[in-house]
Amino acid sequence: MVEAGRTKNYPRGCPMKGCRPLTQDEVKDILESFAGEYAARDRCLFVLGTLSGFRISEMLSLRVKDVSLDGRVLDQVTVQRRNMKGKQQGRTVSLHPRAQAAIRDQLQALAAAGLTGRTCTCFIRGRASTSP
């Protein structure tokens, strides 16, 4: 029997052919692969995306003021309606402690680069690097 939104012979939650969850070893390898100037950004995007379910466009829309207040990373993040697919409504997600730690590291990297304003984007644009 095939459940709605699920293809036969694929795990629960994998509606696309060929889709499967990452193993713990694969996640570890990915997290260890981030290096270079944008390592904190790339790690934060990966951790936040996997633990929150936000789309990449939703994460890229986040500003410092959306994720922190008075230097403290918030417990919840809200993506505004205008930045959501379909633009029907915004979405608020509680942050996992690992996602909060990744955001904290990213905010420290931004501060080290001199990007400290509350309206500053959380994720500066640049080429991703996975080699030292």
Placement of tokens 């608020």 in the chain: 92
User: pLDDT tens across 48-73, in order?
Assistant: 999 998 888 889 889 899 999 988 99
- Residue 48 counted as domain residue: yes
* pLDDT above 60 (res 16): yes
Residue whose token pair is 């459940």: 3
Number of domains in the chain: 1
Cα separation, 69 vs 30, in Å, equals: 30
- Find where tokens 């993040």 sit: 77
14 found inside a domain: no
Residues near 30 by beta carbon (within 8 Å), at least 6 away in sequence = 22, 46
| Residue 118 belongs to a domain | no
Residue 9 lies in a domain: no
Which domain, by its residues, includes 84? 24-112
CATH number at residue 100: 1.10.443.10
Question: Which of 55, 36, 41 is closest to 122 using CA atoms?
Answer: 41
In a domain, residue 37? The reply is: yes
Question: At residue 78, does pLDDT exceed 90?
Answer: no
67 domain residue, yes or no: yes
Confidence tier at 118 by pLDDT (50, 70, 90): confident
